[in-house]
Chain A
Amino acid sequence: MTIQFNEETFRDDYTFKNSDWAIKRFPFPFHEDSYMYAVNMEQHRGGPDGSVYEKRFDVDEHYVAEMKDRAMVLNDDPLRCQSLPHMTLAGWDLLELIMVSKSEDYPDLFELHRDGDQWHWINKPLGIDDKFTFMDETTLPYGPMEYITRQTQGDFCVLDQRDDNLWMDAGIVTTQADWSLDFDIGMNFFEWHAPVPLAHEKGIFVRALKFLLNIQQGSPARRLNWTMTVNPLLDTSPENYHKWGVQKTTLTPENIGEKQHLRVELQTFFRLPRSNALVFPIRCYLCSFQDLMTVPKWGRRLHRVIRDLPVELATYKGFIDNRPMMLDYLSKFDDGKPTSDGIWPDLETEPALEK
Chain B
Amino acid sequence: MKIEKYSGRVTEGPLENVYVYEAPVRLWHWITVLMMIPLAVTGYLIGDPPSVTGAGEATFNYTFAWVRIIHFSCAMIFAVAFLMRVYWAIVGNHYAHSLFLPPVWRLAWWKGLFRQLAYYLFIKKEPDSWIGHNPLAQAGMFMMFVLGAVTIIVTGFALYAQQWASGQSWMLLFGWVHCLFGESQAVRTVHHLAMYYLLVFVILHIYMAFREDIMGKETVISTMVNGIRAFKTKDH
Chain A bound to chain B:
no
B residues with CB within 8 A of A: none
